[in-house]
Structure formats: structure tokens, C-alpha cells
Structure 1
Amino acid sequence: MSQHRPARAAVFSAGSWGTAAAKILADAGTTVIVHARRSEIADAINHHHRNPSYFPDVDLPTSLTATTDPAAALKDADYLVLSIPAQSLRASLATWSPHIGPDTVIVSLMKGIEQGTGKRASEVIAEVTGVNANRIAVLSGPNLAREIMDGQPAAATVACPDEAAARRFQAACHTSYFRPYTSTDVIGCEMGGAVKNVIALATGIAHGMNLGHNAAAMLITRGLAEAIRLATAMGADPATLAGLSGIGDLVATCTSPLSRNRTFGSHLGQGMTVEETTAVTRQTTEGVKSAEAILNLARAHDVEMPITQIISALLHEKISLDEAAAALMQRPPKPER
């Protein structure tokens, strides 16, 4: 990156979190181009400085532009910031990969595990692009997009094996309302972000069934234990799960009505089927897509994840809602640690 120009970031794509991330970067002084799939979204961002599909009421920085051309978005980009559904990452990245520059750092905002392979987003990125791990970073934390768009305070962890690269991206997205911290524990950040979505489905179900705050606190706490067990078995530092990308993200996603996964779970808890809930849920709910992949990872690493197991069974209609609630309480008692 030249010392004589601001950092340049290409944000793919113009969804809820992608738009929020683009706003953060632009507010931090980074030059931002958003890649939108639909020309009407790109035109609205360029001419009206708004994203009508997600935040029609929020003005975007005038320095933020958009395009439907991936090559144009990636031209001279210091950062490729990826905010797309985890299950479409591989195919999309294969299309975009030829346009990625030799020094571009790829930053994943994704919080899902690929079905079939059990790979984390950073692993898929490395596999598809051939980019060295030192050029692949992860941004993860308690980051509800609506609150960020409103300028409410938030923080996150930027994880990259190359500390210097993490610090550069930290500077590129540090604003008065958004505080990024750095880490080298990519596995811990990604697994915290993925597992919390499944636990949020469980707390949403408890909310929908009116099971109370004690039940929610129990699920959050025992869900954190599941995330720590799996992440550390995969090589993460357990301390990462006590940070922003672990318990921080878990609490926000499990307790906020703005959370997609909690909302999806709440619909299930009120008696809607998975199909009915999917039909009324406009945005990607990563926990639904990733639950079985996470459970398969747990089995491969010989890790017990009872909440994840129950949620996966419920999503695949192997057990009923009442059976799921009963199963969560009928676990054999044992020492907490």
C-alpha cells in the first residue's frame, strides 16, 4: 500500500453486514468500493448514497461508491472484504479470484462452516485463491449491523497470522464508534463466530417457548463451553473464546431481537416449521446452514456438543420441539468443569 494514498477496500457484497462494514471503513478514511450483485443497488449507493434493500433510512458516506463489476471493485484494492453467505463462498470466490491483486489482503466477515467439507471460511479462501495464510484475516465480534449503521458503539477482533497485516486493517476500520482489537488466533475467532449462531438458535427457541431468562443464561453459558471445547480441539487459544469474537459475539447474538439466528429460533419456538420460518426470514441465517457441519466437526474431534446436536436434530426434523426442550434438560448431571 502506498504511503501517499488512503487504504483501498473492495467490499463484497451489499448485504446487511457488508453495507455496515463498508460504512465503517469509509468513516475510518478508507476508500471503499462495494460490489453489488444488482445494478439498482449500485446505482442507489452511487446516486442517492443509500442501500434501499437493507438500510433505506441511513445516509452512507459520499466517498463510498459501488459497482457490479468485480474487476473494477478489486482494481488496486489493498483489502478484499468478504461478506457473503458461507455456503456460496467457494463458487463466488472462484469467479472473483482472477481479479485479486498479488498483495491484496482478504478479510472474511463470514460466520459459517462449509457444508460437506467442514471448512472454515479462511480455509476455503486459501484453497480457492491459493493466497498465503498471512494474507487472510478474519473480522469477528458482537456487531449487529443495524446498531453500527446508527453509529452506536461496537468492537471486534481482527485476526490474522501476520500481526502487521492485522494492525494495518485495524487502522483501516478504526472509527469513533468502532474499536477493533488484533489477534493471531484465526481458528478461535472463526469457531466462536460459527458456533454462536447455533447457540443463538437455541436461545431463540427458549425465548419463543417462554422458558425464561434463566434458561437463556444456561444455554449461553453451556453453549460457550461447547464452543471452547471444539475450538481448542481444533488448535485455538481458549482465551480467544473469552473475548469479543467468543463470548462477546455470543451474548449479542443470543440476546438481541436484531439477531437473525435468535429470531429464527424464536419462530421455531412459537411452533413454526423450519420451512415456514425460512420463508419469512429474508436474510441468510448461518446457524441453520452450519449446525450439521459443526456437529460433524465435533464428532471428528471427539468433542461433546449436546446443544448443537439437539438443534441439528430439530432442524432436520429428527425430533420435535418438545423433545428438543426436554432433551436439553435431561442431560446427566456432572461436574461443571
Structure 2
Amino acid sequence: MKITVIGGGSWATAIVKILSENSGIKIKWWMRNHEAVDHIRKHHHNPKYLSSVEFHPSKVKAYHQIKEAFKGTNMVVLAVPAAFLSEALEGLTPDHFEGKAVISAIKGMIPKKHLLITDFIKESFGVPLERQAAIAGPCHAEEVAAEKNSYLTIASPDLGLAEQFAALMDCRYVRASAITDLYGVEYAAVMKNIVALACGITHGLGAGDNFQAVMVSNAMLEIKRLLNAVSPAEREVSSSAYLGDLLVTAYSQFSRNRAFGNMIGRGYSVKSAQLEMNMVAEGYYAVKSIFELNKEWQIEMPITRFAHAVLYEKNSLKKEFNSLRKNLF
């Protein structure tokens, strides 16, 4: 099995680590940064993210020419921020994806187009949903690096594909399972980043644990309303792929969306928060996409509305917080 991994950040690095645990896999790892590629080839670790993780050169080879990274592989794992996916895949055509399964490790939406990643790949490269899958947590890259017990769910309309990739990700510190709820998993992942960002904002404003518990509880109801409206199916939203991923993103010290929101709540501008983090908080872009889509859906989404009012309408933090409090129960 030969797999292409696209992306050079912490989550991409963690995925390469997990896949490299499987003795039957060869990995072609693409990233835009030429210096990072050269460093990995020479020193066998990512110099910028999870740098303690070492990779065996016989199993992992780094590339900065994306077409070369696509040659001769069976699967492609996408692990770049959604806002930069189109740029990362620039120059590729449907022919480059021919015969390959595509696995999205991206928990965001394409800005302006407001598309899920799988819909974007289908629209741009002609890859049917049956040849695509998405990875759900709860699983932070930093804990993968430390080999702490983690759980993943792989979702695809083709259960066989989901099971195949789950088997490739299953290792001594990761347990992976398979389901068919592709859209449910993707939308839930988008929403949990919005919720984590909103939790960070309220925490930065001084709200305590009691309020956050109420927010997360209401957020699960908000996510459930969304999933029932846009992708009706029988699903257990209290399972780890939905509730578990939400909880770890809303509460964890490693959550970049929560950290981003916390800075906003403490008075940072969006630009200054982005510069200080030096990482992408998917929830910032997702808020805009879900808010715009909800103009058509007309779903009750007070937490998403709160985040949009603060981030994009530049409304008063305290005013919007007081309004949010009245809409939770």
C-alpha cells in the first residue's frame, strides 16, 4: 500500500506517524516548505511540528513536487487547512486522482464556496463520494506524538473503504473504527471547531466552567439540529465521532480553536490572534460558511450566530455574550 499525505502541519505529521506504524505502508509526504522537506530527508523529523517524532527513511519520503508525490499511490490523505486546500492542489487534474481513494483529515469548509471537503474534491476532481472518506476524532496531534491512547472514526459511504483505511490507522496507541455517515462526520467536525472557538471567547470574557458546560450541552443540540436538517440519517450523536470530538476540542489545552477564541475574548483582534498563534483555527472560516449556509437552512443556531456577530460583525463582546446567555438553557 502506497499513500500520499498532503500537508506539513502537526495533524499531517501525526497522520504520517500513525500510518508509518503499519509495516505494509510506504508514505509519500508532500509539503509546500522546501526547507522542511530537505530537513526531513536529512534528519527524518519535521523541524516545525511534533519535532520529537522520527520517521524511518525506508517508509516515509518527503516531496515538494506534488505531482511526484501523487505518482504510483493508492490513497491520498488531505491534511492541510481548508482555506489553503485549493492552493495546495493547484496544477492537479482529475487524471492525477484516477484510481485513488481520497481521505479527508480536514475539519473545515472551503471558504467562499462554503463546500465540505469531500464535495470540493468531487466537484473539482471528479472523485465520487464512494471513493472518499473523512477522519473524525477525538484525537489531538500532540497526544499522538506522545503515543497516548487515541480513537479515530473513519466515515465513508463505502463501508469497505472506511474499514480498509481504519485498519491502516489502527496501531498500538490508536483504535480506529468505521461508519458510513460521511456528511454527518464532516458537518459535526466543522461545528465542533465553531463551538470550541465560541467557548474560548466566553472563557476569555471570564465565563466559568458552569457556563461552558451549558454551552457544550446546547452545542450538541445545535449540531444535532444541523445534521438532521442537512443530512438526515440514523446516527448516535453521543458517540465519540460526534460528542467525543466536540468535547476534546472544546476543553483541551491543545485546541487551537479554543485558544484562538480565548484571545478574542481577552481583546485581541482577529489578525493579531492569528499572527500570535502561527497556526490556522479552522473554526474562524467555518463560522462564516455555516452562517451563510444557514440563511437557506433557517436552523436555530445561537452559538454560531454569536461567533459570527463577534468575529465578522465586530459587535460588542459583552452585548453578544448577554444575548447568548438568554438563548441557552
Whether TM exceeds 0.5 here: the answer is yes
Q: Displacement of 1:332 after TM fit?
A: 7.8
Number of the residue aligned with 2:54: 59
Which residue type is aligned with residue 169 of structure 1?
A: F
Q: Displacement of 1:61 after TM fit?
A: 3.8
Q: Displacement of 1:281 after TM fit?
A: 1.6
One of 300, 305, 321 as aligned partner of 1:325 = 321
1:46 aligns with 2:14: no
Which residue type is aligned with residue 299 of structure 1?
A: K
- Percent of matched pairs sharing the same residue: 31
One of 285, 291, 297 as aligned partner of 2:287 = 291
Are the equivalent residues in 1 in contact too, given 2:170–2:176 (CA < 8 A)? yes
Q: Displacement of 1:252 after TM fit?
A: 0.5
Equivalent-residue separation in structure 1 for 2:122 and 2:328 (angstroms): 41
SS of corresponding position for 1:179 = strand
Number of the residue aligned with 1:210: 206
Number of the residue aligned with 1:15: 9
Q: How does 1:29-44 map to 2 (within 5 A)?
A: 29=23, 30-44=25-39
Q: Displacement of 1:294 after TM fit?
A: 0.7
Are the equivalent residues in 1 in contact too, given 2:139–2:151 (CA < 8 A)? yes
Q: Displacement of 1:25 after TM fit?
A: 0.7
Are the equivalent residues in 2 in contact too, given 1:228–1:238 (CA < 8 A)? no
Equivalent-residue separation in structure 2 for 1:114 and 1:48 (angstroms): 34
One of 12, 18, 24 as aligned partner of 2:18 = 24
Are the equivalent residues in 1 in contact too, given 2:40–2:46 (CA < 8 A)? yes
Number of the residue aligned with 1:157: 153
Which residue type is aligned with residue 31 of structure 2?
A: A
Equivalent-residue separation in structure 2 for 1:129 and 1:318 (angstroms): 37
TM-score, scaled to structure 1: 0.92
Are the equivalent residues in 1 in contact too, given 2:151–2:176 (CA < 8 A)? yes
Q: Displacement of 1:87 after TM fit?
A: 2.0
1:105-155 alpha-carbon deviations (Å, 9 max, x no partner): 000011112222321110001001111211111111112111111111111
One of 117, 121, 128 as aligned partner of 1:125 = 121
SS of corresponding position for 1:106 = strand
Number of the residue aligned with 2:227: 231
SS of corresponding position for 2:147 = coil
Unaligned 5+ runs, structure 2? none
Which residue type is aligned with residue 36 of structure 1?
A: M
Which residue type is aligned with residue 265 of structure 2?
A: G
Alpha carbon RMSD of aligned pairs, Å? 1.6
SS of corresponding position for 1:291 = helix
Number of the residue aligned with 2:76: 80
Number of the residue aligned with 1:245: 241
SS of corresponding position for 2:93 = helix
Q: How does 1:178-189 map to 2 (within 5 A)?
A: 178-189=174-185
Q: Displacement of 1:210 after TM fit?
A: 2.7
Equivalent-residue separation in structure 2 for 1:332 and 1:172 (angstroms): 41
Are the equivalent residues in 2 in contact too, given 1:74–1:99 (CA < 8 A)? no
Equivalent-residue separation in structure 2 for 1:22 and 1:320 (angstroms): 42
Are the equivalent residues in 1 in contact too, given 2:274–2:280 (CA < 8 A)? no
1:174-230 alpha-carbon deviations (Å, 9 max, x no partner): 111111111111110001100011100111122222311111111111111111111
SS of corresponding position for 2:109 = coil
1:264 aligns with 2:264: no
Q: Displacement of 1:101 after TM fit?
A: 4.4
TM-score, scaled to structure 2: 0.95
Say which is worse superposed, 309-318 or 55-64, in terms of deviation. 55-64
Equivalent-residue separation in structure 1 for 2:12 and 2:70 (angstroms): 15
- After superposition, the Cα gap between the structure-2 partners of 1:126 and 1:58, relative to the gap in structure 1 and judged at 3 Å, is same
Number of the residue aligned with 1:4: none
- After superposition, the Cα gap between the structure-2 partners of 1:148 and 1:104, relative to the gap in structure 1 and judged at 3 Å, is same
1:278 aligns with 2:274: yes
1:312 aligns with 2:308: yes
Unaligned 5+ runs, structure 1? 1-6
